[in-house]
Structure 1
């Protein structure tokens, strides 16, 4: 037998140590000498894990609290207050859903980051308690991270694009957007993909990393544009008066009055075509309501022009303007 193993450990006489406490209970010198590994380190590891779990739990509850809309969604969540808010209150219930989903998504990211950091630090503390050298592990983790980064470039690109889109509030639930390959109403916004439904009812799933430009028709205000064709023989000045009177009467009543922000403006002759001339009229509307206003105004001015005796140009039906609407 190795004589070193038979030596009485000096720590059994040091009061206040784990070695002393274990020896007093068991009267076993080997257990007393191994008290650090058998008792002290396991207790420290358990305490580290408990503290990490409590810290994570408290931070997650705080994130839930600041990311939950109050007053039935009408009050902006505290998480979004430092960030830029582009959603107009004019959109009503749509804004509530947009803010809720935006706060929920950002909160989910913060929770994931919190769990990774807290448990990562706790894991390193546990390894340090076990006497493991962290240098090679950290170096290996860095190499693995670089390899995963190269292998998942598209996923990382989608994730980062989604984060910037959320923080900048480029678009949200209920917005009408054009992203090149697809256009329609946004139904869901995530960190990896955006879901929108076009006018035909088709649902499009677009990766955030593939979105190079976004045209949003639901921010600030929109312009309803109506191009009205007339024949060459029409009295333009009189047609402008008729159009202005008809449009003003239409937007003064329901339901257009709730969607129109400023009185209609007749700009005059916009285009001269082989068939005739086109007079352009615009009106500033609430975001996303330009198409509704266009259709209603087009019907009103058609009836007014016909009643005033104006004839449509050859080969054209009155009111067949391009009907484009642009958001500003």
Structure 2
């Protein structure tokens, strides 16, 4: 017997749809608007502050480096500037300034680069602090208490290190004003008299004639006498017996001055011809005359010695010097 089973529907299995549900354009627009709303807030402000701050700092450093390198390398001035200088300066003064020191170029470079380094460091600190404060403001921090705390700390630090700050500020002005440099013969007071060996922002090193190396704090320098800046003056004092003929002595000393000026080894050191002044002093036993000449910086001592030697030789020839004086000089 055959049993007829009811027909059953075929079993079907559901398969997931491989394509995701479509994102509506409205949702994309809302996400984009939310992102731009967030980005145009503090992130964009911070980014602009950083970019502008870095650009300002780079421009400042490039400007400082450019100016200081021009000064350090001594790039020639323009023709107009040269023409103005020629009109304003006399030939002697111009030549003296041009040959101020054998180490003038190195000194100018040292001064310019040192000042440039200080200015670069100052620019880094100022711009960096401004960027930091502006960024903190964008993050919602109150910078007023920070500024007040920094002011109090700065005042305390200033009182504690005021001598150090004074030394550095004085050193900067010494370099900017070119009061003295390496190789100059100076008198800084308090026994610091000699040749400059090094100029730093805090101290100046002076080597005295006896070999002592003096370390002088720049903030303690109240006066500075520079004997080798621009030009120098050679002075040679000559004393003759009080009964000597003044005209004969002046003529003899004039020949001595001319002889030194014509000396091949010293002729290039003169910026003006040497001359003889009249009687500078009278005592019971002698008359004092002075030979003087404007010379290149640092050469006044050599020229003065040569003038004294030549004066003694000429005075011997006219029998002005006594025999006992000649003997004592030769001894």
Give the TM-score category using the shorter length: 0.7 to 0.9
CA distance in structure 2 between the partners assigned to 1:52 and 1:63 by the alignment: 16
Other-structure match for 1:230 = 240
* 1:49–1:74 Cα change, 3 Å: closer
Shift of 1:240: 1.3
Shift of 1:46: 6.3
Tell which structure's C-alpha radius of gyration is larger.
Answer: 2
After TM superposition, list the pairs within 5 Å mapping 1:71-110 onto structure 2: 73=74, 75=76, 88-110=97-119
Q: Deviations over 1:154-174 (max 9, x none)?
A: 011112222232333222233
* 1:191–1:312 Cα change, 3 Å: farther
SS of 1:91's partner is coil
CA distance in structure 1 between the partners assigned to 2:309 and 2:330 by the alignment: 8
Q: Is the 8 A contact 2:234 2:292 kept in 1?
A: yes
CA distance in structure 2 between the partners assigned to 1:207 and 1:299 by the alignment: 40
Q: Name the TM-score, length of structure 2 as normaliser.
A: 0.75
After TM superposition, list the pairs within 5 Å mapping 1:239-254 onto structure 2: 239-254=249-264
Q: Is the 8 A contact 1:264 1:283 kept in 2?
A: yes
Other-structure match for 1:56 = 57
Which segment is superposed worse, 266-275 or 211-220? 266-275
CA RMSD of aligned residues (A): 3.2
CA distance in structure 1 between the partners assigned to 2:200 and 2:115 by the alignment: 9
Other-structure match for 1:18 = 35
Other-structure match for 2:193 = 183
Q: Is the 8 A contact 1:176 1:186 kept in 2?
A: yes
CA distance in structure 1 between the partners assigned to 2:68 and 2:330 by the alignment: 48
Q: Is the 8 A contact 2:242 2:283 kept in 1?
A: no
1:202 aligns with one of 205, 212, 215: 212
Q: Is the 8 A contact 1:74 1:96 kept in 2?
A: no
CA distance in structure 2 between the partners assigned to 1:152 and 1:71 by the alignment: 31
CA distance in structure 2 between the partners assigned to 1:112 and 1:72 by the alignment: 21
Q: Can you give the 5+ residue segments of structure 1 that lack an aligned partner in the other structure? A: 1-9, 21-34, 77-85, 321-328
After TM superposition, list the pairs within 5 Å mapping 1:114-153 onto structure 2: 114-153=123-162
Shift of 1:119: 0.6
After TM superposition, list the pairs within 5 Å mapping 1:179-328 onto structure 2: 179-181=188-190, 182-312=192-322, 317-318=328-329
Q: Deviations over 1:173-197 (max 9, x none)?
A: 3322111121122232222112222
CA distance in structure 2 between the partners assigned to 1:232 and 1:281 by the alignment: 18
* 1:135–1:11 Cα change, 3 Å: farther
CA distance in structure 1 between the partners assigned to 2:202 and 2:73 by the alignment: 28
Q: Can you give the 5+ residue segments of structure 2 that lack an aligned partner in the other structure? A: 1-26, 78-92
Shift of 1:318: 4.9
Other-structure match for 1:67 = 68
CA distance in structure 1 between the partners assigned to 2:75 and 2:213 by the alignment: 28
Shift of 1:274: 4.8
Q: Is the 8 A contact 2:73 2:109 kept in 1?
A: no
CA distance in structure 2 between the partners assigned to 1:56 and 1:271 by the alignment: 64
* 1:17–1:235 Cα change, 3 Å: same
* 1:257–1:315 Cα change, 3 Å: closer
Shift of 1:271: 2.3
